Chains A and B, each alone.
Chain A
Amino acid sequence: MADELEELYQSTYTAVVRYLYRKVWDADRAEDLAQEVFMRLLAHRPEKPRAWIFAVAANLARDEARFAIRRRRHLVLMQSEPDVLPSRARDAEEQVEDDERNEQVRNALGTLSPRDQEVLLLWDAGLSYPEIAGQSGLAVGAIGTTLARARRRLVEAHERQNYHEADVAHS
Chain B
Amino acid sequence: MSHILEDELHAYLDQALSRSRCVTIESHLASCGFCSSQRDAIAALRDQTTLLLGTLAPARRIPVSLEELNRRQLARAPRRQRTRRALWAASLVGALGLGYGIRSLGSASRPPEAALAPVATVATDQSVADAPTRPSGPGVLVSMPASRRASVRPAVIAPPGPDELAPAPDGSVPPSVESSTSALPTDADPGLQGFWRTVPWDQAEDVAGKAPARVDGVPVEEVQVQPSRAGGSPMMVVAQRLTSGEVIQTIEGPTADVSQLLARRGDGGLDSAGRPAESMQRGDRMLVVTGELPPDSLRAMVRRVNAAQRVK
Q: Hey, which bits of chain A sit against chain B, CB under 8 A?
A: 5-6, 9, 13-14, 17-18, 21-22, 27, 30-31, 35, 38-40, 42-43, 83-84, 98, 101-102, 105-106, 108-109, 120-121, 123-124, 128-129, 143-145, 147-148, 150-152, 154-155, 158
8 Å CB interface, B1-46 against A: 6-8, 10-11, 14, 16, 42, 45-46
**How far in angstroms is the closest Cβ of chain B from A63?**
17
| B52 adjacent to A39 (CB under 8 Å) | no
| A14 adjacent to B63 (CB under 8 Å) | yes
| B52 adjacent to A42 (CB under 8 Å) | no
**How far in angstroms is the closest Cβ of chain A from B67?**
9
Interface size on B, residues (CB 8 A): 31
For the complex, what is the distance from the CA of A154 to the CA of B72, rounded to whole Å?
A: 39
| A145 adjacent to B49 (CB under 8 Å) | no
**Which residues of the other chain, B, contact A152 by a CB distance below 8 angstroms?**
45
| B58 adjacent to A105 (CB under 8 Å) | no
Given A105-B53, A151-B10, CB of A42 within 8 Å of CB of B48: no
10 tightest Cβ-Cβ pairs between the two chains A and B: A27-B58, A144-B7, A144-B11, A129-B16, A145-B7, A39-B73, A83-B59, A151-B49, A84-B59, A148-B10
* Tally of contacts, chain A with chain B, CB under 8 A: 97
| A123 adjacent to B58 (CB under 8 Å) | no
**Which residues of the other chain, B, contact A106 by a CB distance below 8 angstroms?**
56
**Which residues of the other chain, B, contact A155 by a CB distance below 8 angstroms?**
45, 48-49, 52
For the complex, what is the distance from the CA of A84 to the CA of B45, rounded to whole Å?
A: 31
**Cross-chain contact of B16 among A108, A124, A128 (Cβ < 8 A):** A128
Given A106-B56, A143-B11, CB of A38 within 8 Å of CB of B66: yes
| B66 adjacent to A14 (CB under 8 Å) | no
**Which residues of the other chain, A, contact B46 by a CB distance below 8 angstroms?**
151
**How far in angstroms is the closest Cβ of chain A from B12?**
9
Could you pull out 16 A-B pairs where Cβ atoms are within 8 angstroms? A18-B56, A18-B58, A21-B57, A35-B64, A35-B72, A42-B66, A43-B73, A105-B56, A108-B52, A109-B53, A147-B7, A147-B14, A151-B46, A154-B52, A154-B53, A155-B45
